[in-house]
Amino acid sequence: MTGSTAASPGTRRGRSLVVAGAGLAGLTLALALKRAHGPALAVTVCDPALKAGAVRHRGRAYAVAAGGRRMLECLGIWTELGPGAQAVTEMVISDSRLADPVRPAFLTFGAEADREPGEPLAHMVEAEPLAAALLSACRAAEVDLVPEGIRRAPVEAGAVAVELGDGRALRASLLVAADGARSRLREAAGIGWVGRAYPQSGIVATLSHERPHGGRAFQHFLPSGPFAVLPLADGGRLGHRSSIVWTERAADVPALLGGDAQDVLAEIERRFTPELGRIALEDGPSAHPLALGVARRFRAERLALLGDAAHVIHPLAGQGLNLGLADAAALAEAVTEALRLGLDPGGPDVLADYERARRFDTVAMAAATDGLNRLFSNDSLTVRLARDLGLGMVDRLPGLKRFFAGEAAASRGPRLLRGEPL
Ligand SMILES: Cc1cc2nc3c(=O)[nH]c(=O)nc-3n(C[C@H](O)[C@H](O)[C@H](O)COP(=O)(O)OP(=O)(O)OC[C@H]3O[C@@H](n4cnc5c(N)ncnc54)[C@H](O)[C@@H]3O)c2cc1C
């Protein structure tokens, strides 16, 4: 830890901020603020996972929507990530049973959604290089990276008194809880959580395949849940790669993944996109419990919730991290406006602005993903008929297409998502 943020005698009141959590949301916020304010704002990120050098994200890849990509460009890290990112130019949606011999495309969309001409729907970005680029940009911008967790953080005399795992103390005008879905800081602040666990797990893996994907993403809605095939940059043993996000009933996962590598590959092959040819496992699979949850408030006194600490949604639309990036853009903007006006960046008005900017979109996205999961993780004939009719209409509804492309909020969202610096 450098001296600038420790126990703070030299830190001007109202000019320091502590982020709990060096996940992708926490690091993005820290970088955005440090790039905008330089030495005028001390930014510390604390995370015990930094003891290993960086937070591990092995085998994960994210569909970063156009707004998130514009933000990463503004923050100066897209030049490094762009060459390894895969543009998603088309999304093909099918609705079939597992045993159906063909999976006719139900809905296909690409260039017509609300983006710049020629702008892809999203870019698939692998989490390890994204985290590494954020971390090294944070170091270069002099974000203080502390490999300790936050034990407690009471508000005392107009500042947050942050106590680290090793007993050291920091003072800050604002604490940002970016400490993930089971946020202890959210709990300690007494902020309620509305949600429930899904009886499903999300299985993620990286595959290589024989034939090129041509930038197409596939979402196969199968009775036990959606199976997404998301294009990655070429490579791997068979020359072309995709990432899968496979939703299954949690109770079935041990049987599906418990066999040897050949059995697991055979289960994936039954669900995979046949036109991509032969497949091989490159990384994973790993299974993750799925849940829906939104915090009752996104703020408390001198505390803002960010990323999964504020909301957790079903991964079927690949929007969880995009919500976290939008949170980072909105909070960085609210804090910046306060600092430019000489106001306290942890004051109630700043946090109210942030909450107002994020709450509606978050709740709308949580409800939409939950509704789609209920509608599609189902084999009832009437539900199948209703959704087939519904999807035909969706094809003509640009709003829902934009939702799948993660673009619903970007055009009216915070500056960084529009590609404008703070
Ligand atoms: C199967 C699956 C597939 C997904 N696919 C996509 C996708 O395609 N696109 C997409 O946008 N999103 C996707 N998501 C969602 C995405 O993974 C999350 O929304 C995102 O990773 C959350 O990032 P975060 O930084 O908010 O939290 P996290 O990554 O959970 O980071 C929290 C950090 O806080 C640290 N921490 C915990 N407690 C403390 C403490 N007391 N003090 C300090 N630090 C602490 C932890 O060590 C951790 O590093 C998917 C999720 C799942 C489950």
Q: Which of 44-53, 96-105, 304-313 has the lowest mean pLDDT?
A: 96-105
Lowest mean pLDDT among 86-95, 204-213, 330-339, 412-421: 86-95
- Nearest atom, ligand 1, residue 27 CA: 25
CA distances from 391 to 97, 221, 382 (A): 16, 12, 14
284 pLDDT more than 60: yes
> Residue 38: which pLDDT band, with cuts at 50, 70 and 90?
very high
Choose which residue among 47, 126, 168 to substitute to test ligand 1 binding: the one with the highest number of ligand atoms within 8 A of its C-beta: 47
To the nearest 10°, the Cα dihedral for 154, 131, 317, 255? -100
- Report d(CA 358, CA 405) in Å as an integer: 18
Task: Using the atom order of ligand 1, give the atom closest to the CA of residue 319.
Answer: 11
- Going along the chain from its start, the domains and CATH numbers come out as 16-59+127-195+293-376 (3.50.50.60), 61-126+198-291 (3.30.9.10)
pLDDT higher than threshold 60 for residue 316: yes
**Sign of the CA dihedral 197, 47, 129, 258?**
negative
DSSP state letter for 12: P
Q: Are 207 and 280 spatial neighbours (Cβ–Cβ below 8 Å)?
A: yes
Which ligand 1 atom lies nearest to the CA of residue 323? 11
Query: Would you state the structure tokens that stand for residue 257, as one six-digit string?
Result: 């993944």
Atom of ligand 1 lying closest to residue 308 CA:
26
The pLDDT tens digits of the residues spanning 79-101 come to 999 999 999 998 888 776 666 66
Alpha carbon nearest to ligand 1 atom 15, residue:
320
Query: What separation in Å is there between the alpha carbon of 386 and the centre of ligand 1?
Result: 34
Pocket of ligand 1 (CB under 6 A): 20-26, 46-49, 55, 62-63, 149-150, 178-180, 184, 202, 204, 245, 288, 307-308, 315, 318-322, 324
324 has pLDDT over 90: yes
Alpha-helical regions (H) of 141-190: 184-188
Contact 13, 158 (CB under 8 A): yes
Band (116; pLDDT cuts 50, 70, 90): low
Residue 202 alpha carbon, nearest atom of ligand 1: 1
Burial (CB count <10 Å: 0-12, 13-18, 19+), residue 383:
middle
Cis-peptide, bond into residue 348, ω within 30° of zero: no
Cα 166 off chain centre by: 30
pLDDT of residue 383: 62
Centroid of ligand 1 to alpha carbon of 379 (angstroms): 31
Q: Which is it for strands 240-249 and 193-209: parallel, antiparallel or unpaired?
A: antiparallel
Ligand 1 centre distance from Cα of residue 23 (Å): 6
* φ, ψ for residue 200, nearest 5 deg: -130, 155
Closest C-alpha residue for ligand 1 atom 35? 21
Question: How confident is residue 290, by pLDDT bands cut at 50, 70 and 90?
Answer: very high
**Average pLDDT, whole number, for the chain?**
87
Task: Using the mean position of ligand 1's atoms as its centre, give its distance from the Cα of residue 314 in Å.
Answer: 13
Q: Burial, 22: exposed, middle or buried (Cβ in 10 Å; 0-12, 13-18, 19+)?
A: buried
The pLDDT tens digits for 178-200 are 999 999 999 999 999 999 999 99
Report the range of poorest mean pLDDT among 29-33, 225-229, 283-287, 371-375.
Answer: 371-375
CB 241 within 8 A of CB 115: no
Rounded to the nearest angstrom, the distance between the alpha carbon of 62 and the centre of ligand 1 is 11
pLDDT in tens, 218-262: 988 888 888 999 999 999 999 999 999 999 999 999 999 998 989
Could you tell me the distance, in angstroms and rounded to a whole number, from the CA of residue 189 to the centre of ligand 1?
20
For the chain, helix (H) and strand (E) counts, in that order, are 11, 21
